[in-house]
């Protein structure tokens, strides 16, 4: 999109965006300061020496942040002249550090640790002041990175813009839900009803609800028209079946599935797992026997359901989409956020199958391959012998593990749910866990397939 632009033209383009971006950030913080002050929520954060009770309040801090963003806006405006030297940017050293230290492993483990920390310390992170600081830092990171051409190229690609919006919206709504859940959990521990119970009185739908709907419709229409004018929808060159783009990507909402292709064959990543996701979602109300937590935000009262869902949604579905969209470049190689998408980047791919590890590495013999033109039974016999370890592990995982779970750690669930519902839940969970397990096996043992049957297109 910025191909063919000189540096000067690029800085002009990004500068005209960043000025408004920082102005909005400054306004946001100014409004926050005003809100804190007017609603009497001012708190002294830093005491000044002198003992007059004077100090820097939160309102002053947000006002200072607003001023800092206003300065950023002015500096970003300097890029209009075509010279980016004064524009606030991420230091080169940091960019290189981030690029050279990120990869699928760091990304996956990093998001896992981050989400786990956000969950464990949710009481701290949902404090409005902390959450507001994090939001400011996220947006600042975006602003500072936009002056990098490679970063801009990926993030500002029209069809990727929804991803950036998705990340910000999810961050906001996850904060909102967790904030309310923490308050509710505290209240219910004290024997008080949840927040949702407080507004129990009934109001008439006209005017209270229909006006909300009307205002939402007008605001949304205005937003869509603004978006449509500000950012033209993508239209690339006319379709050409002979010219394969590199990388070729599915629409962004399917990129989590495309990312799974790194670890599974298409029949798993593209058919079986998506079908299980849909069916698993539909099964949720029939598997969750917990009667608590119906109609209000809570985490403590339904920890198992909450963690399972968040693991599947935020930790797998969303992080894989972000990875697949923003960080996977030509040949589906991993590229850091500031890295040039070099189509010639070569990554070693010396993955190995479990049967190879067993027969070649451990026993030092060759794989028992079926002779060509053999009948079905001879072929099946060879395959069974060749892949016995993979079959044993897979069957053990899906068939032996659920009863073991039922008798040990998940005994309470088994007793409440009964055989069929429990087995269904256990298998859905095991399928969901199969992805991270396969990822770890790939990273640690460069394992390609647990079961490798190319004769039948059956690799697992």
Partner 1 sequence: MPGLGETIRESQIWKSIFRHPMPVDRRNRIVVMLTNFFLHLHPVSIKKQGIALSYTWCMGGVTFFLFLVETVTGVLLMFYYRPTVQWAYTDIQMLRDVHSLGILREIHRWGAHAMVITVWLHMYRVFLTGSYKPPREFNWVVGVLLLLLTLLLSFTGYLLPWDQLAVWAITVGSNMARAHPFLGHEGPGQQLLTLGGVDMITSASDARFALLGAREVGEETLNRFYILHCIAIPLGVALLLAIHFWRVRKDGGISGPL
Between CA 276 and CA 285 the distance in angstroms is: 15
Which of 106, 250, 343, 407 forms a contact with partner 1 (CB under 8 A)? Answer: 250
With contact defined as beta carbons under 8 Å apart, do 103 and 327 qualify? no
Which of 85, 93, 203, 409 forms a contact with partner 1 (CB under 8 A)? Answer: 203
Which of 54, 106, 109, 212 forms a contact with partner 1 (CB under 8 A)? Answer: 212
Q: What's the closest the beta carbon of residue 220 comes to partner 1, in angstroms?
A: 6
Q: Strand 458-459 and strand 55-57: pairing?
A: unpaired
Residue 180 within binding range of partner 1, rule CB under 8 A: yes
Site for partner 1 in 352-371 (CB under 8 A): none
Site for partner 1 in 77-116 (CB under 8 A): none
Pick the stretch among 93-101, 235-243, 360-368, 407-415 that binds partner 1 (CB under 8 A): 235-243
Residue 251 within binding range of partner 1, rule CB under 8 A: yes
With contact defined as beta carbons under 8 Å apart, do 390 and 378 qualify? no
Q: What's the closest the beta carbon of residue 155 comes to partner 1, in angstroms?
A: 15
Of 103, 107, 108, nearest in space to 435 by CA: 108
- CB nearer to partner 1: give 181 or 316: 181
Residue 186 within binding range of partner 1, rule CB under 8 A: no
Pick the stretch among 2-10, 118-126, 243-251, 431-439 that binds partner 1 (CB under 8 A): 243-251
Which of 98, 129, 166, 352 forms a contact with partner 1 (CB under 8 A)? Answer: 166
Residue 217 within binding range of partner 1, rule CB under 8 A: yes
Between CA 420 and CA 427 the distance in angstroms is: 11
- CB nearer to partner 1: give 143 or 280: 280
Residue 173 within binding range of partner 1, rule CB under 8 A: yes
Residue 54 within binding range of partner 1, rule CB under 8 A: no
Q: How far apart are the first and last CA of the chain?
A: 39
Q: Which long-range contacts (CB under 8 A, 24 or more apart) does 195-203 make?
A: 195/296, 195/297, 196/295, 196/296, 196/297, 197/296
With contact defined as beta carbons under 8 Å apart, do 309 and 425 qualify? no
- Quick note: the x/- pattern for partner 1 over 303-342, rule CB under 8 A, is --xx--x---x-----------------------------
Between CA 423 and CA 427 the distance in angstroms is: 6
With contact defined as beta carbons under 8 Å apart, do 390 and 448 qualify? no
Between CA 17 and CA 161 the distance in angstroms is: 14
Between CA 412 and CA 406 the distance in angstroms is: 8
Between CA 443 and CA 446 the distance in angstroms is: 6
Q: What's the closest the beta carbon of residue 232 comes to partner 1, in angstroms?
A: 6
- CB nearer to partner 1: give 61 or 299: 299
Between CA 453 and CA 450 the distance in angstroms is: 10
Pick the stretch among 34-42, 198-206, 412-420, 436-444 that binds partner 1 (CB under 8 A): 198-206
Q: What's the closest the beta carbon of residue 188 comes to partner 1, in angstroms?
A: 10
Q: What's the closest the beta carbon of residue 121 comes to partner 1, in angstroms?
A: 19
Between CA 140 and CA 425 the distance in angstroms is: 42
């Amino acid at each position: 999109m910025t191909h063919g632009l000189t540096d000067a033209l690029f800085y002009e383009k990004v500068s005209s965006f960043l000025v408004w971006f920082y102005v909005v950030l400054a306004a946001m913080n100014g409004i926050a300061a005003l809100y804190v002050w007017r609603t009497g929520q001012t708190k002294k954060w830093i005491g000044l020496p002198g003992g007059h009770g004077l100090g820097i309040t939160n309102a002053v801090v947000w006002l200072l942040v607003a001023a800092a963003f206003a300065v950023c806006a002015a500096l970003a405006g300097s890029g209009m002249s075509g010279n980016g030297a004064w524009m606030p940017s991420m230091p080169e050293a940091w960019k290189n550090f981030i690029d050279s230290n990120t990869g699928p492993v760091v990304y996956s483990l990093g998001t896992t640790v981050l989400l786990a920390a956000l969950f464990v310390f949710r009481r701290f992170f949902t404090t409005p002041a902390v959450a507001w600081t994090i939001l400011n830092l996220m947006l600042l990171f975006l602003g500072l990175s936009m002056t990098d051409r490679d970063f801009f190229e990926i993030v500002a690609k029209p069809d990727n813009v929804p991803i950036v919006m998705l990340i910000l919206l999810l961050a906001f709504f996850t904060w909102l839900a967790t904030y309310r859940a923490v308050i509710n959990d505290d209240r219910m521990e004290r024997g008080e009803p949840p927040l949702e119970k407080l507004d129990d009185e009934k109001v008439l739908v006209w005017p209270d609800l229909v006006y909300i709907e009307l205002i939402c419709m007008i605001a949304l229409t205005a937003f869509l028209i603004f978006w449509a004018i500000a950012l033209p929808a993508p239209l690339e060159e006319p379709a050409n079946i002979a010219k394969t783009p590199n990388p070729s990507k599915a629409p962004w909402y399917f990129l989590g599935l495309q990312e799974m292709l790194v670890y599974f064959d298409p029949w798993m990543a593209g058919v079986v797992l998506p079908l299980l996701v849909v069916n698993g979602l539909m099964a949720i109300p029939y598997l969750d026997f917990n009667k608590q937590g119906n109609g209000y935000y809570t985490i403590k009262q339904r920890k198992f359901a909450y963690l399972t869902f968040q693991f599947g949604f935020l930790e797998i579905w969303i992080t894989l989409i972000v990875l697949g969209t923003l960080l996977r470049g030509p040949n589906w190689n991993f590229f850091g956020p500031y890295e040039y998408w070099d189509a010639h980047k070569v990554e070693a791919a010396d993955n190995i199958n479990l049967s190879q590890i067993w027969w070649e590495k451990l026993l030092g013999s060759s794989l028992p391959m079926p002779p060509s033109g053999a009948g079905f039974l001879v072929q099946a016999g060879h395959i069974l012998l060749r892949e016995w370890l993979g079959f044993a592990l897979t069957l053990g995982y899906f068939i032996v593990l659920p009863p073991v779970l039922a008798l040990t750690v998940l005994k309470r669930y088994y007793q409440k749910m009964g055989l069929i519902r429990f087995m269904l839940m256990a298998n859905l969970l095991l399928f969901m866990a199969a992805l991270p397990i396969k990822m770890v096996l790939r990273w640690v043992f460069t394992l390609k397939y647990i079961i490798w049957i190319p004769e039948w297109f059956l690799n697992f």
